[in-house]
Structure 1
Amino acid sequence: MFQKILVPVDGSPTSKRALQEAIVLAKLTHAQVALVHIYTDIAYLVDEGYINYEELQKTVQLAGEKILTEAAESVRQAGLITQTKSISAGNQKIAQAIIAEAECWQADLIVIGSHGRSGLTRLLLGSVAEGVTRSSSIPVLLIRGTGN
């Protein structure tokens, strides 16, 4: 049985669907649920002459906090207790940051949404879910989006 379920959230419909599946599983197994939002440093996207980097980075962090707050409310409405964490990926890939947090928290399962990208989109953007699945020693439950 799973005792600790980690759910990465990004606010997308697929992420929300994964969260709902994690809630069902947690209720069945009486597991703890931890929510994590990973954000990247956007410094490489910023031209210093035109954009205030600190303000933009703060906006990214605040958006992540809002995503976590909404996800945590869904968990609480289901009668479960949760904890949340917002993490900067730094120079790591997002998948690696998710795995590192799951290992640190000693999760038994990672429940993550898969957007089902293919072709050029997948080549350009990569797949966080695929990266987690390939590299994690912790079991991973992939939840596909409804349109996939």
Structure 2
Amino acid sequence: MYRRILVPIDGSPASAQGIEEAIRLARPMRSRVRLLHAIDELSVSRAGFAHDRSPELRAEATRMLARSAERVRSAGVEVDTVLYNEADGTVASLVAEEARCWHADLIIAGARGRRRLGQLLLGSSTERIVRGAGVPVLLVHAAAGEQPAAG
């Protein structure tokens, strides 16, 4: 029985599917869900945004977490959120540490399902979460044809 379900989210369709799966599992078991987001400032800077947008990034991340938490709450599931800067560690290490400290029983992670094997095995955050997790990890794929959302 999964009493504490940790769901790392990034605003993508895959992470939205992860939230829906967490709701589906948590509701009948009266489990608690924790949504985790790590602001990835390096990726943002590579995309051409300035580092001085940190307050804006944090505000958008906070809004995304609030919207996602409201979705979970409206389904009748107890939820809370946690927000990190990736400067605090890699996404995978933050998820592993949060799972350990919060005593998560399950991690539900969205996977984008990239087609090239190299993309899946080399460097994906999801793959590193699976390798570093001390608890079971359920991977949930976005529906075919869905593209990652901005954010």
TM-score range, shorter chain: 0.7 to 0.9
Map of 1:115 onto structure 2 = 112
Map of 1:53 onto structure 2 = 51
Rg larger in structure: 1
Number of residue pairs the alignment of both structures matches? 144
Q: Unaligned 5+ residue runs, structure 2?
A: 146-151
Deviation at 1:89, TM superposition (A): 2.0
Higher relative contact order (CA 8 A, sep 6+): 2
Q: Deviations over 1:81-120 (max 9, x none)?
A: 2111111121622111111111111100000100012439
| Separation in structure 2 between the aligned mates of residue 33 and residue 16 of structure 1, nearest angstrom | 14
> Structure 1 vs Structure 2: percent identity of aligned residues?
35
Map of 1:82 onto structure 2 = 79
Q: Residue 32 and residue 43 in structure 1: after superposition, are their counterparts in 2 closer, same or farther (change >3 A)?
A: closer
Which letter maps to 1:109?
L
Map of 2:66 onto structure 1 = 69
| Separation in structure 2 between the aligned mates of residue 91 and residue 84 of structure 1, nearest angstrom | 16
| Separation in structure 2 between the aligned mates of residue 19 and residue 52 of structure 1, nearest angstrom | 30
4+ residue segments displaced more than 4 Å: none
Deviation at 1:75, TM superposition (A): 0.6
Q: Tell me if 1:129 matches 2:129.
A: no
What CA RMSD, in Å, does the superposition of the two structures yield over aligned residues? 2.6
| Separation in structure 2 between the aligned mates of residue 128 and residue 42 of structure 1, nearest angstrom | 14
Map of 1:32 onto structure 2 = 32
Q: Unaligned 5+ residue runs, structure 1?
A: none
Deviation at 1:8, TM superposition (A): 0.8
Which letter maps to 2:103?
Q
Map of 1:17 onto structure 2 = 17
